[in-house]
Amino acid sequence: MKPETLGQKQRRFTLMTAKLITFAYESGYELTYGDAFRDPRVHGSVGVKLGYGHARSVHKVRLAVDFNLFKGGVFLTSTKSHTPLGEFWESIGGAWGGRFNDGNHYSLEHEGQK
20 assigned to some structural domain: yes
Residue 32, in any domain of the structure: yes
Domain presence at residue 11: yes
Residue 22 in domain: yes
Tens-place pLDDT, residues 15-25: 999 999 999 99
**pTM of this prediction?**
0.87
**Which residues form the domain of 103?**
6-107
Residue 90 belongs to a domain: yes
Question: Looking at residue 54, which CATH number applies to its domain?
Answer: 3.30.1380.10
Q: What is the pLDDT of residue 52?
A: 53
- Does 114 map to a domain? no
> In sequence order, which residues have a C-beta less than 8 Å from that of residue 9 and are 6 or more positions away?
63, 108, 110
pLDDT band (50, 70, 90) for residue 60: confident
Query: From residue 14, how far is each of 21, 48, 54, 63, 65 by CA, in Å?
Result: 11, 25, 22, 8, 10
Q: Identify whether 87 is part of a domain.
A: yes
**How many domains does the chain fold into?**
1
pLDDT tens for each residue of 68-109: 999 999 999 999 999 999 999 999 999 999 999 999 999 999
